[in-house]
Structure 1
Amino acid sequence: MFQLTRTQVLALVRKSHKAQIIVFACAVLLIATVTIAYNAKTIEAHIDGQTVHVTTIYGTVGEALAHSNLKSYPEDIVNPSRDTLVTKGLKVEVTRSIPVHLLVDDQTFMTRTPAKTVGEALVDLSERYGLQIKDVDEVSTLRTAAVTDQMEIKVRRAIPILVRADGKVIDTYIAPRTVADALTKLGIVLGIKDKVSLPLDHMLVPSEQVQVVRVEERVDTVKSEIPFQNVTQPADYPVGLPDKIVSRGSKGLQEQTVKLTFEDGKEVDREILGQRVLTPPTNEVISRGAQTSISRGGTTINFKRAYVMRATAYCIPGGTTKTGASVRWGVIAVDPSVIRLGENVYVEGYGQARALDTGGAIKGNRIDLYMNSTEAALSYGVRNVMVYVQ
């Protein structure tokens, strides 16, 4: 068999240019392989509950992961961080991000998040995209729910509203919706007759107020008294004297069917649907004086009104009355609020007189009769008399 010695091979290489190139390439490859083998480091990556060993010549964790066979996304959480220098035996924790669809009002984001729950995802995405999602905003899924692959999360920004209902004030936030939908969302059920301060199809705007008035209608049977009437009949005694009761009246009793309307527990209207009398009332009969004339000593005295008065007597010779007239027989003192000054009167037991004077003690139904002597005045004393104002 044909064989070449080492010396022959070297001689052949020196003479062949192509052979020289091959030898040089092999040498470079050998040097590179030795260099790589010397610089290569292995890190331990924990991903999705599995441990994967990654051998790399790159200097940082981020570069090592990016040039490995592992799929890595910018949204993944890497600990220690991606710019950490690779050292031999370094352990790296990778929390995979999940693709989700986020809809905030009229904005749509096709993105990824490493968050485990919807609430955590909203915090992450809100900070990342500057969305300022608040805790009061409405979310289509419970914030405590686990994030799943390709999950759709809808967020509706809430506005402040104030609702008064059932004696309570609900100061809350809610996504824009009609009044009817807002009340349903708050668990407020409307009755057929209930009143709402805004139309049910009205779309709420920030800081709007809604008043719910509960309306209740009830039909009751109510018993009530029927007042009696006063029936007056003329009597044969002077006009002005107190009325006399001939027969006392008594109240009746009636039963009414009433429709009562209440607003928030307060009665605002009542309608009588029907009624019947259980006991009729009895009228009270009163006799009233109708006599306007009397006969005294064969003379007829006509009068407008009669009084029973407390009478006294006085005597002040040469005195002057309130009206400026001189005192004399037939002058009497009266209370002007009862008998006007200047009125002609007839006093039983005294005769014709005229009201021309007043007195400090003469108040109400009292008169003071002038006498011609002190003895006569003292003798008269105090008595009740009939006074007829003509």
Structure 2
Amino acid sequence: MLPNATKRMLQAHRMKIVTTLLTVVILSIATFFAYTAYASGQKTLTFIKDGKESVITTRANTVQELLQEQNIHLDKQHDAVQPSLETALEDKMTVKWKPAHKVVVSEAGSKQAIWTTAATLAEMLDDKGITIGQYDTITPNADTKIDGSMNVTIKNGIKVTVYNQAKQDVNTKAETTLDQFVKQQHIQLNKDDKLQLNDKLVPKDSNQVLKNNDKIYIHRVSQKTITEPIDYDVVQQDDSSLEKGQTRVLQSGQEGAMAKTYKVTTMTDQQGTHEQKDLIQSTVTKEPKKKIIAVGTKVVQSPTPSEQAYRGTSGEGGKVLYVKSTAFTANCKGCRGITSLGINLKSHPGTKVIAVDPNVIPLGSKVWVEGYGYAIAGDTGGGIHGNKIDVFFPSQSQAHGWGLRTVKVKILN
């Protein structure tokens, strides 16, 4: 048997072991419950921060507390937060935060500040309903990523009017030079053509920047050669063998020809298309031939009134015919006034001349016509055939007054 002292020592030792085990058990249980209580307040979330996604653990109770926990300086007025700041957090929730950026847009002389969370300028413009036209330009490019504060400039397209044989309104981008515009529109300019911007002529390769409502005029310049007739001169020569008032053509006249070369400028403007011709040179290609007329100077004593009356009623002095008579004048549009014998009726309106059929009354004969007097058969006509004559009067009214009548004609020689 063990001594009592030893038994007491063994009992004390066992008590110490039991006490230690109980303490360890109690502490473990306490630690377990404490950890369980702590873990029950944590949440695992998907957090998307400015487009970057991550998984985090948090004990925050609301979205606002979560952002504060993440040291995010929130702009409540402009930043984008989903869900709202007051939303209570739950396990496996997704929270999004995107900071807003300030973009200053300048357009047509005005500026506006836009706060946006869009990723690119194109997205921002679409969100705000700002349209970029086909001929508008934006700086920087619409595909530029928005990162921090930005300044954006929009330059609107312009309209110019081109007068190139016809009027045409054309849209183009701002800051387009005249030279660039001409090339863009495929306007072909020849060596001598000219370019006008508004009211001034400019070089064809002008780098002048176009403005809205500018007007561009194309002057088309070419050369043209035209053959024009040269009138012949009429020369009169005295002839004593002819009675005064009689004429005879000694040489027929012929027109000449002259080649004239012009610089022709064609321009279209608000009033239409105009052509300006400037003579460069002229060359005679055919010399004209003078017309020479013999003018009688021989004076023949005129019969007295009684002799005229006697000759008008007598069958003596020549062959007598009865003919139909009409009248004509040289003072009409297109009439040259030169008879078949070369008598210039415009220069000698007092000369009495009749047109005849030469087969009936010989051309050049002196005649007496009832109601008209002494005259010369000095002309023919396409409508004068047989016993028909056409008497000359200086004026239309006299010719009309003669009308159509049957008269007696006496051929004197």
TM-score (norm 1): 0.52
Aligned residues: 281
> Of 40, 43, 62, which residue of structure 2 is paired with 1:41?
43
2:90 is aligned to 87
Aligned equivalents of 1:170, 1:97: Cα separation in 2: 43
Q: Is 1:187 aligned with 2:181? A: yes
**2:117 aligns with one of 114, 117, 127:** 114
AA matched with 1:272:
L
CA separation in 2, counterparts of 1:163 and 1:228?
47
Q: Is contact 2:198-2:216 (8 Å) kept?
A: yes
For residues 257 and 71 of structure 1, do their structure 2 counterparts lie closer, same or farther at Cα, with a shift above 3 Å needed? same
How far apart in 1 are the matches of 2:375 and 2:231? 38
Please state if 1:262 is matched with 2:288.
no
- For the pair 1:197 / 2:237, whether they are aligned, the reply is no
**Structural mapping, 1:192-341, within 5 Å:** 193-197=194-198, 209-218=213-222, 220=223, 222-233=225-236, 236=242, 239=245, 245-264=249-268, 268-286=275-293, 293=300, 304-308=350-354
Q: Which runs of 5+ in 2 are unaligned?
A: 1-32, 203-207, 309-348, 357-368, 377-399
Give the whole-Å Cα distance in 2 for the aligned partners of 1:97 and 1:66: 17
Q: Partners of 1:213 and 1:224 in 2: how far apart?
A: 31
TM-fit CA distance, 1:214: 0.9
Amino acid at match of 1:154: V
Q: Which residue of 2 aligns with 1:377?
A: none
2:66 alignment counterpart: 64
Q: Deviations over 1:324-376 (max 9, x none)?
A: xxxxxxxx986xxxx7xxxxx4589xxxxxxxxxxxxx96476556xxxxxxx
Identify if the C-alpha distance between structure 1 residues 292 and 147 changes in structure 2 by more than 3 Å, giving closer, same or farther: farther
Q: Helix, strand or coil for the counterpart of 2:266?
A: strand
1:379 maps to none
Contact 1:225–1:251 (8 Å) recurs in 2 = no
Q: Kindly tell me: are residues 119 and 106 of structure 1, through their superposed partners in 2, closer, same or farther at Cα, counting changes over 3 Å? A: same
Secondary structure of the equivalent of 2:214?
strand
1:71 is displaced (CA, Å) by 5.9
In 1, distance between residues paired with 2:163 and 2:52?
Answer: 53
* Alpha-carbon shift at residue 291 of structure 1 (Å): 7.3
Q: Distance in 2 between matches of 1:185 and 1:225?
A: 41
TM-superposition CA deviations, 1:139-175 (whole Å, max 9, x none)? 22332x2325357443246487553343453365876
Let me know the Cα RMSD of the aligned residues: 5.1
* Partners of 1:151 and 1:246 in 2: CA distance: 103
3-state secondary structure, aligned to 1:305: coil
The answer (yes or no) to whether the contact 1:238–1:305 under 8 Å persists in 2 is no
Looking at structure 2, the residues matched to 32 and 160 of structure 1 have their Cα atoms a distance apart, in angstroms, of: 75
> What is the letter of the counterpart of residue 181 of structure 2?
G
Other-structure match for 2:56: 53
Change (3 A) 1:237 1:174: farther
In structure 1, the gaps of 5 or more residues are 1-30, 176-180, 311-331, 340-344, 349-361, 370-381
Identity in percent: 15
Q: Is the 8 A contact 1:196 1:212 kept in 2?
A: yes
Q: Return closer, same or farther for 1:106/1:158 CA change in 2, 3 Å cut-off.
A: same
For the 8 Å contact 1:293–1:300, the answer to whether it is kept is no
Q: Distance in 1 between matches of 2:92 and 2:118?
A: 28
Q: Is the CA contact (8 Å cut-off) linking 1:102 and 1:108 kept in structure 2?
A: yes
Q: Letter of the aligned partner of 1:251 in structure 2?
A: E
- The answer as to 2:164 corresponding to 1:147 is no
Q: Which amino acid aligns with 1:305?
A: T
Residue 253 of structure 1 contacts residue 277 of structure 1 at CA under 8 Å; is this kept in 2?
yes
Other-structure match for 1:169: 168
Q: Structure 1 residues 267 and 171 mapped into 2: Cα distance closer, same or farther (>3 Å)?
A: closer
1:195 to partner: Cα distance? 2.5
Go from structure 1 to structure 2 and tell me whether the alpha carbon gap of 1:202 and 1:139 turns closer, same or farther (over 3 Å shift).
closer
| Distance across 1 between alignment mates of 2:301 and 2:87 | 133
2: CA distance between counterparts of 1:57 and 1:170? 65
- Pairing 1:353-368 to 2, within 5 Å after superposition: 364=402
**How far apart are residue 231 of structure 1 and its match?**
0.6
> Which amino acid in structure 2 is aligned with residue 187 of structure 1?
F
